Structure 1
Amino acid sequence: MNKSVPTWKLFEDLVSRILEANSFHVTTHNLRGDRGFDLLATYGRENWAIEVKYYRTARAQPSLIDAAAARVAGNGIMAKAQKGMLVVSCFLPEKLREVLGQKFSITFIDQIDLRNWCASYPDLLEELDALLESSPSEPPATYLTSNGPTLHSKPLREVSPKFHDTRGTELCQELKGISKGKASWAKYEKVCERILKYLFSNDLHGWHSQKRTDDGLSRYDYICRVRPTTEFWKFVIDHLDSRYVLFEFKNYSGKIKQGQVLTTEKYLLERGLRRMAIIMTRTGAESNAVAMTQGAMREQGKLMLIVNDEKVCEMLHMKERGEDPTDCLFEIADDFLLTLPR
């Protein structure tokens, strides 16, 4: 497996080959962005609009599935496709399938369906299992059958406007419209608060803002209790031994310096089960500040991730498209730890 290629791209390419093996003729669709989808295929005499979503978390997150399904249905109609399909790397429970089937006239393909489609192609099945890093806690291989595709017979239809999420784009535009510096500090904090609650509404609880420390002199911006809903938050709980995550909002006109990171680091407490912080900045951090985050991780096991406006907007657009924004945090943390110096 080529580690230099993003996992979502490897999954999309593999899905394309699995479809080809099951009598689809697939071409990569070049209409990306808000009006696009991943693959355009023909099956028999019908054109299919196909959206492919890779999630690090095997458990289905209904709000993300809804957003992705609405995207492929609406964009497929604009591209004059007769049928639509959403392929996901997670598992779709039967009850969730029933609910989705009532909302959307598209075919839903999950990890078990993909394995069934690969039953006659051992090489594809082996590649799929390696890519998804299957674990013993997941549904067993006895789910495999030699059946071919089970496809939705209904034609594409437009979905209700309530399923079209535009909040990510709106919040990104609002964020970029805030001027940098002390004069806009309060406005920046309020927007960051709305962004966090949009991105992580199911993942974080017990939101507390502007909590003062015991000495009454210093304060942090937000602290939340973590729920193990995705692979990233499971990593925070299980491997960092942190039940809480701290958020800091830095509306500086330039990159944050070593002193701002040091202040955040002091709020992280091992015995307080608080060893994780996300520092939201406008333009990132200076090299000395990054070095301090590396030292805190190396010497005390405290993880501080610095995200700028670009990364925040990337996560907002991911959520809007039905992708998991914590997958972006996972990649940031993974890159940070892989490149951690001695």
Structure 2
Amino acid sequence: MKEPAATWRQFEDLVRRILQANNFDVHLHSPRGDLGFDFIARLPNETWAIEVKYYRTSRAQPTLIAAAATRVANNGLIANATRGMLVVSCFLDSELRISLEQKFSINFVDQVDLRNWCAAHPDLMEELDALLESNPNEPLTTDPTRLRPESRSKRITDALPRKIDTRGTELCTELKGIKKGRSTWAQYERTCEEILKYLFPNDLHGWHSQKRTDDGLNRYDYVCRVRPTTEFWKFVIDHLDSRYILFEFKNYSGTIKQGQILTTEKYLLERGLRRVAIIMTRVGADANAVAMTQGAMREHGKLMLIVDDQKVCEMLHMKERGEDPTDCLFELADNFLLKLPR
């Protein structure tokens, strides 16, 4: 059975078709990723650099949107585009949208604008509402500044290049450069703390370190209070009944074993509203350890997500690009629960 396309990819394809239905001549742009953007498009005599960002959280996160806007503006200038556009799946209130457009000299298109663009295309409107779980009975906006969103943009050639965030890449390089094993455990812990505070500056509060003695090693792990800022953290609070989250750092040279999972599980406390742990480890976990996490969830409702160096770096690069790293955690949890055996 063919796996369905990732939601972000479905959204990107739908945006392409919505743009085409509104007279944009749209083509995939190469290169993409850090040195490019998703589409190069033409509308009469203007060339547009267009980036598409899907967020699970409908509320706008300004720092992520600003990071994405910086990249599309800079990369659009490099590609000799005359105008830039950032299409997001979330909602941008008018004050934020106007502020962003003045700051970056590009056009911002959100869920409201996309629904307006679909007004004459009911099939696209139905697909958009289903994908973003919108209310199909929500009336279209009559805000005059949203009627033709493509007309609001300034020329990106009027803007000066802005500094791009590279902190995620620096932290990824630092993480990979740490030797595995006992001798560098403290260094690994410090770097993991920096990574978490970079990834989740507004989501986690009340950082509290706990001194532990396991395997003959003294080390510190963290308990944080969770704020319901994104869909993942709302899921943790509302569905897993966990107001706090435990982070554990395991600098083992090999995969972690079921003994390490058992140790972590003991620190998850149902009555303490602490039922979720994220275990940061260098190379993942073996099959018995994974089975132990499944048993803890199935029998006690305790969720333990194992995040290796590769996944950590993926989240760091997401943050740099203006994507939400908690969407990665949401997918990890979603896949874990979907595959949970009886």
Query: What interval of TM-score do these two structures reach, taking the shorter chain for normalisation?
Result: over 0.9
Which of 127, 137, 141 is the aligned partner of 2:138? Answer: 141
3-state SS of the aligned residue for 2:156?
A: coil
CA-to-partner distance for each residue in 1:108-162, whole Å, 9 max, x for gaps? Answer: 00000000000000000000011111259xxx62234694544234211444534
TM-superposed deviation, 1:208? 1.0
3-state SS of the aligned residue for 1:236?
A: helix
**Residues in 2 aligned to 1:334 and 1:323: alpha-carbon distance in whole angstroms:** 18
TM-superposed deviation, 1:209? 1.7
3-state SS of the aligned residue for 1:255?
A: coil
Counterpart check, 1:99 vs 2:99: yes
- Whether the 8 Å contact between 2:240 and 2:275 is mirrored in structure 1 is yes
CA-to-partner distance for each residue in 1:269-299, whole Å, 9 max, x for gaps? Answer: 0000000000001000000000000000000
- Whether the 8 Å contact between 1:257 and 1:289 is mirrored in structure 2 is yes
Please name the residue that 2:268 is paired with: 268
**Residues in 2 aligned to 1:152 and 1:135: alpha-carbon distance in whole angstroms:** 26
Please name the residue that 2:174 is paired with: 174
Using the aligned pairs only, state the percent identity. 73
Change (3 A) 1:159 1:8: farther
Change (3 A) 1:286 1:239: same
**Residue pairs, 1:1-342, within 5 angstroms:** 4-134=4-134, 141-144=138-141, 147-157=147-157, 158-159=159-160, 161-162=162-163, 164-211=164-211, 221-342=221-342
Change (3 A) 1:131 1:3: farther
3-state SS of the aligned residue for 2:9?
A: helix
3-state SS of the aligned residue for 1:50?
A: strand
- Whether the 8 Å contact between 2:118 and 2:124 is mirrored in structure 1 is yes
> Which residue type is aligned with residue 162 of structure 2?
P
**Residues in 2 aligned to 1:134 and 1:191: alpha-carbon distance in whole angstroms:** 40
**Residues in 2 aligned to 1:176 and 1:159: alpha-carbon distance in whole angstroms:** 34
Change (3 A) 1:255 1:153: closer
**Residues in 2 aligned to 1:268 and 1:220: alpha-carbon distance in whole angstroms:** 16
**Residues in 1 aligned to 2:227 and 2:149: alpha-carbon distance in whole angstroms:** 36
CA-to-partner distance for each residue in 1:167-201, whole Å, 9 max, x for gaps? Answer: 01110010011111111100000000000000000
- Whether the 8 Å contact between 2:28 and 2:38 is mirrored in structure 1 is yes
3-state SS of the aligned residue for 1:40?
A: strand
- Whether the 8 Å contact between 2:73 and 2:106 is mirrored in structure 1 is yes
Give the count of matched residue pairs.
Answer: 334
3-state SS of the aligned residue for 1:80?
A: coil
TM-superposed deviation, 1:59? 0.1
TM-superposed deviation, 1:45? 1.2
- Whether the 8 Å contact between 1:220 and 1:264 is mirrored in structure 2 is no
3-state SS of the aligned residue for 2:42?
A: strand
- Structure 1 consecutive aligned stretches of length 4 or more whose deviation exceeds 3 Å: 144-150, 157-162, 217-220
Change (3 A) 1:253 1:175: same
**Residues in 1 aligned to 2:341 and 2:134: alpha-carbon distance in whole angstroms:** 30
> Which residue type is aligned with residue 326 of structure 1?
T
**Residues in 2 aligned to 1:94 and 1:147: alpha-carbon distance in whole angstroms:** 13
> Which residue type is aligned with residue 108 of structure 2?
F
Q: CA RMSD in A?
A: 1.9
**Residues in 1 aligned to 2:113 and 2:3: alpha-carbon distance in whole angstroms:** 25
Say which is worse superposed, 201-210 or 274-283, in terms of deviation: 201-210
TM-score under structure 1 normalisation? 0.94
- Whether the 8 Å contact between 1:22 and 1:149 is mirrored in structure 2 is no
> Which residue type is aligned with residue 289 of structure 1?
A
**Residues in 2 aligned to 1:292 and 1:40: alpha-carbon distance in whole angstroms:** 48
- Whether the 8 Å contact between 1:244 and 1:274 is mirrored in structure 2 is yes
**Residues in 2 aligned to 1:219 and 1:271: alpha-carbon distance in whole angstroms:** 25
**Residues in 2 aligned to 1:91 and 1:67: alpha-carbon distance in whole angstroms:** 17
TM-score under structure 2 normalisation? 0.94
**Residues in 1 aligned to 2:99 and 2:153: alpha-carbon distance in whole angstroms:** 17
